[in-house]
Amino acid sequence: MSLEEKVQQFPPSPGVYLMRDGAGEIIYVGKARSLRHRVRSYFKQSGDSRYQIKFLMAKVVDIEVVLTDTEKEALLLENTFIKQHHPRYNLNLKDDKTYFSLRVDPHEKFARFTIVRKRPRDDARYFGPYSSGSAARDVLRQMIRMFPLRHYPLASCMSRKRPCLYHQIGQCSAPCHNLISQEAYTALVNGAMLFLEGKGRLLIAEFKRRMNDASERMLYEEAARWRNLLRSIEVTVEKQKVVLRGGDSDVVGFYRNADRIEIALLFIRAGVLSGNHQFSLSWELDDAAAISAFLLQYYTGTVFIPEEILLPLAIEEGETLAELLGELKGSKVSLTLPLRGTKRELVALAGKNAMSAYRDRDDEEATAAAVLAELSRLLHLTRLPGRIECYDISTIQGRFSVGSCAVFTAGKADRSSYRHYRIKTVDGQDDFAMLREVFLRRFRADSYDRENGPDLVVVDGGIGQLNAVQEILAELGLTGSFDLVSLAKSRVTHDAFVETAEKSDERVFLPGRKNPVVLRQNSKPLLLLASLRNEAHRFAIGYHRKLRSKEGIASGIDAIPGIGQKRRTALLTHFGSLQRLREASVEEIISVPGFSRTTAETVYRGVHT
């Protein structure tokens, strides 16, 4: 039976179809309201005649279908298959952007705002997203200046003998020392939430009422506090420009050049433009399918789902997708294609952002490629270093020794590929032996993928480290599999006859060459290598500190009588550090699974003796 005859027998039901190539690999996953009608359209001469579809169908040798009860189930199943199989011709959204939000739990006693990366579906309130941690911290600092809420965990605050420095500078109302009532503090929390929601004018009216009420009751200190809050809020509200009446919206912008697509999102919260984010994607099929696939993959993650999403073009399954997102949000979500007015102007603005981001990214990639080509020329490499791996060792007198691997792909940090190694076979201070263990674990035959291996390996150190790694690679049979260099840090030299110290150049050592290559200081190739080396060092130091912190809490717990391995592990998991355990109250220790009041009191006494 031919493939076209097989398709004729597909049922006219909703479901998902999987296209396979000659090797049996899934190269495309699609969903349809009617499987028979949708898949048959790929074979019709008058149907999908775009060259991309013809190119796809030339590779398809088999098509499988999975039936679903509804079109909404087909959407979800398609998304699951794409994430599972990563088909060549599907949009695969790998968003390495870390989103930051402000979180507050209004039900918590004397609630405080914290910065978080994920939005679990709990009873807390979340505000954002913010494009970076610094942006979120700026908002938090601005808010704390207006609303003096606590900064630290309540147990930590309660353990202090007097209010913290933030109270002294007017940025904390010191609820831990009963300097503000629960009711007044709750009013501050509610005011902060209104401020973050963009409801500044409503907030001003409420605080004016409270100021006048306190003044009438001759509570002049309280009235002055509300007056000061009002002044701060009024200045901030004046700077905010409402671009859209109504609630929260996301605006989708779109720009395409050949098989590259740039999507820009504008975040509008309470009518105010609060941020944006761009996505660069590979896509070879039609534009509407790209928008649909993006919306499904992006909004079914842990991101905030707004009440309205403004689109640049119509998508086939808009109603079904809106219904699905509404279920995830817990309230109605609309997908709108505006044709005129302010909303249409916002979509056009998002499109301009997408086009600008595409051009900026194109220029950035061209610059990165030029830097890599220059680096290859200066170091006499055998290939363009598309993937560079840098290795570093971190230890303190042979204790808590770790190795790290930082990875740059196409000249940019590829943090998802970073790896760290806890040194297991080396005792004492022996950097060469530690490097040997790391390289044997990284490049052992049963796990090393030569096709996806590095083009260039950089070792932090001098000629000694380079020679040691050369021997290891020769032992593994990997000599010549990739280029290898070592990067030695600059050194500060002192001359007794010269008042000022001199700093030597950073040096790059190459195999078979005694004298190092000295790259021009502040040149882009050297800055790239230094950035890579610094990333490896930072990553190693971070893991090293984590091990030291765990050892610190473990040794502190081990000194407490009656605490076995199980409870020790529970305390490690719950508190993470000895300092946090010391700051915890007896009640907080009781909340750890497996701890009674008696045991919690034993732990409390043990860490405070």
Q: Hey, what amino acid is at 476?
A: L
**How far apart are alpha carbons 469 and 418 in whole angstroms?**
19
Residue among 599, 557, 595, 604 at smallest CA distance from 576? 557
pLDDT band at 275 (very low <50, low <70, confident <90, very high): confident
> Tell me: the pLDDT tens digits for 240-273?
455 566 678 899 999 998 888 999 998 887 777 7
In whole angstroms, give the CA distance from residue 128 to residue 270.
11
One-letter identity of residue 164: C
**153 cis-preceded (ω within 30 degrees of 0):** no
Contact criterion met (CB below 8 Å) for 383 and 374: no
Domains defined for the chain, CATH in brackets: 3-85 (3.40.1440.10), 249-359 (3.30.420), 387-544 (3.30.420.340), 559-607 (1.10.150.20)
Are residues 511 and 388 in contact, defined by beta-carbon separation less than 8 angstroms?
no
pLDDT band at residue 484 under the 50/70/90 scheme: very high
In whole angstroms, give the CA distance from residue 516 to residue 239. Answer: 56
Check pLDDT > 70 for residue 577.
no
Q: φ and ψ at 159, to 5 degrees?
A: -80, -10
Looking at residue 49, what is its pLDDT?
43
The pLDDT, as a whole number, for residue 377 is 94
Q: Return the top range by mean pLDDT from 373-377, 521-525, 558-562.
A: 373-377
In the structure, what pLDDT confidence band is assigned to residue 97 with cuts at 50, 70 and 90? low
- pLDDT at 548 (0 to 100): 61
How large is the average pLDDT for residues 215-239?
68
Strands 334-336 and 308-310: parallel
Q: How far apart are CA 164 and CA 230, in angstroms?
A: 24
Q: Of all residues in the chain, what percent carry a pLDDT higher than 90?
A: 23
Number of C-beta neighbours around residue 466 at 10 A:
22
**What dihedral angle (degrees, nearest 10) is formed by the CA atoms of 357, 358, 361, 367?**
-130
Predicted local distance difference test score (pLDDT) of residue 328: 86
Q: What are phi and psi of 537, to 5 degrees?
A: -65, -45
Closest CA to 333 of 247, 254, 272: 247
Sign of CA dihedral 504, 508, 513, 514: positive
The CA distance from 291 to 311, in Å, is: 8
Q: DSSP per residue over 567-609, as a string?
A: HHHHHHHHH-SHHHHHH--HHHHHTSTT--HHHHHHHHHHHT-
Structure confidence at residue 383 as a pLDDT band (50, 70, 90): very high
Interval 100-124: pLDDT, tens: 778 888 888 888 888 887 777 677 8
What is d(CA 77, CA 83) in angstroms, rounded to the nearest whole number? 10
pTM for this prediction: 0.64
Strands 260-269 and 100-104, by their bridges, are unpaired
Higher pLDDT, 236 or 477: 477
Strand partners, 254: 263
C-alpha 585, offset from chain centre: 33
* Measured distance CA(386)–CA(369) in Å, rounded: 9
Q: What is the pLDDT of residues 437-458, one digit of tens each?
A: 999 989 887 778 877 889 999 9
Q: Is the pLDDT of residue 509 over 90?
A: yes
Strands 412-413 and 387-396: unpaired
What is the DSSP code string of 361-408? HHHHHHHHHHHHHHHHHHTT-SS--SEEEEEEEEEETTEEEEEEEEEE
pLDDT at residue 116, rounded to an integer: 84
Task: Supply 560's token pair.
Answer: 């407490």
> Among 61-75, 154-168, 398-412, which range has the highest average pLDDT?
61-75
Tell whether the model's pLDDT for residue 239 goes beyond 50: no
Better-predicted residue by pLDDT, 362 or 606: 362
Residue 363 above 90 pLDDT?
Answer: no
Is the pLDDT at 398 greater than 70, yes or no?
no
Which pLDDT tens digit goes with each residue over 289-346? 889 989 988 888 777 888 999 999 999 888 899 999 998 888 899 999 999 888 999 9
pLDDT of residue 334: 93
Q: Which residue has the tokens 């740039």?
A: 262
- In the predicted structure, residue 209 carries a pLDDT above the cut 70: yes
Q: In a 3-state reduction of DSSP, which class is residue 101? A: strand
Alpha-carbon distance of 391 to 437, in angstroms, equals 12
517 phi, psi to nearest 5 deg:
-90, 130
Secondary structure (DSSP) of 269-330: ETTEEEEEEEEEEE--S-HHHHHHHHHHHHHTTTS---SEEE-SS--TTHHHHHHHHHHHHT
- In whole angstroms, give the CA distance from residue 341 to residue 344: 5
